[in-house]
Amino acid sequence: MLISAQMTREPPPVTPGETPLVVPAWMRSRVYRIWVLGLFAAVATFGFVDRIVVQVLVQPIKAELHVSDADMGLLGGLTFAVLYVALSIPIARLAERKNRIVIITIGTALWSVATAASGLAASFAQLLLARIGVGIGEAAGTPATTSIVSDYFSPQRRASAMSVVGLAVPLGAFLGGSAGGFIALHWGWRAAFLCAGLPGLALALLQGLTVREPLRGCHDVASGSGAAAGDAQRTPSFLAVLRRFWERRSLIQFLVGATLSTIAGYGINYFLAAYFSRRFGLDYAQAGLVVGVVSSIPAALSIIAGGFVADWAGRRNARWYALIPALGAALTAPLYIASFQAGTWLVTAVLLAVTAVCQYAYIPASTAVTQNMMEPRMRASAAAVTGLVYTLLGQGLGPLFVGMLSDHLTRSTSASQGLQTALTLSALVYLWSAVHLVIASRRLAADLRA
């Protein structure tokens, strides 16, 4: 892939005692920053399409490959997480020192190829290997992307910027659910994987050719948010990154709360299409479309509102960065439970849409809070740490837990009733999440100042 020399070079270093970093004109360009943010959002969207497509394809893959709910939970969770966890930290450390655009471009191309390869798998074992390949690609891209967005936007605008990238969740859910189900119904589940993977290759090319490596920490220096000019060029050890997490106790509580929400969210959403098929008799296309619709516009509102409202309220009192996600989690639990007790698919869909409005407020706030507590060359590593936790525990264990619980409960009831009960019990985890987020709010302002 062609990448210009200008893009592959790091900006010139600034040592302590020199003139503080100045935000260059091209980084201040509103049009250019919108392009960069939109391109990152598009890449993340198709990355999330891949995750949603697996959820929509639970039933047809089970039917062809003769596997259990637990096996499908393993496919959609732990297999993706294994190499993501193994490689995200080393790649993030590389991103602290080297050009992040090159790393992101390679990662995007890799997960795109692995997604398409999932459609060529002739056995469940080959499908597992392809999903591991997806995990490798996303491990290369996600931490570096978060770090770059933090360098394009000031600390007071980062939650808002992260909410735009976070639109990948609802947009990917809609595309993966509606298009994935339709393609699977008419051309088979293998074609759905192929269609989900190929657009990422074009986006990888656009990233490599049009996105420039930003100056690290220049917004922090310009805004006086705590980073010295030299901090933007000094790369702290990974132990220093972990120590920063430990020293900011509110960040630990925030991380625990967000992780619990991620576990419940991935576990529940992974089996929603299967739930609509088993309980209400919807076919693959119908179930995928319903899940895509209820997870798209409402979730987009949740993420955008969560980011922009958190920035607005956080400028007045930093506690709101945690209290807004806490309120969303506290409302999500009873709404989910009501959804799974509804007697028709239409009522269930409406309640799930309302749930999604509350569910995702924690995503931009948690990312922004983590980035704002780190030095410039800690941010990719910090994103890798949080991504590791969210992926291993959230995406890795969430679907597996719900699948195993569903299999266990099905032995004494039916497949529909067993899954319904498993989803209902999983919703209670959101209340646990809310408790930790409230605790985080008590020290958040002091830790951000520190």
**104-127 pLDDT, tens digit each:** 999 999 999 999 998 888 888 888
On whether the CB atoms of residues 400 and 77 are closer than 8 A, the answer is: yes
**pLDDT tens-digit map of 162-204:** 888 888 878 887 888 788 888 888 898 899 999 988 999 999 9
Nearby residues of 251 by Cβ (< 8 Å), 6 or more positions away: 245, 369, 370, 373, 440, 447
Query: Which pLDDT belongs to residue 250?
Result: 93
Query: Which pLDDT belongs to residue 261?
Result: 95
Select from 183, 203, 340 the least CA-distant residue to 275. Answer: 340
pLDDT higher than 70, residue 226:
no
Domain residues of the chain, as ranges?
24-449
∠ Cα 47 201 142 (to 5°)? 40
* Sign, Cα dihedral of 333, 334, 337, 343: negative
pLDDT higher than 50, residue 3:
no
**pLDDT tens-digit map of 48-107:** 888 778 877 888 888 888 888 878 777 766 666 777 777 888 888 888 888 999 999 999
On whether the CB atoms of residues 80 and 131 are closer than 8 A, the answer is: yes
Please give the CATH number for the structural domain made up of 24-449: 1.20.1250.20
* Sign, Cα dihedral of 146, 147, 152, 157: positive
pLDDT higher than 50, residue 4:
no
Place 353 in a pLDDT band, splitting at 50, 70 and 90.
Answer: very high
What is the rounded CA–CA span in Å between residue 247 and residue 240?
A: 10
pLDDT higher than 50, residue 20:
no
pLDDT higher than 50, residue 227:
no
What are the tokens at 206? 């656009």
pLDDT higher than 50, residue 221:
yes
What is the rounded CA–CA span in Å between residue 137 and residue 197?
A: 12
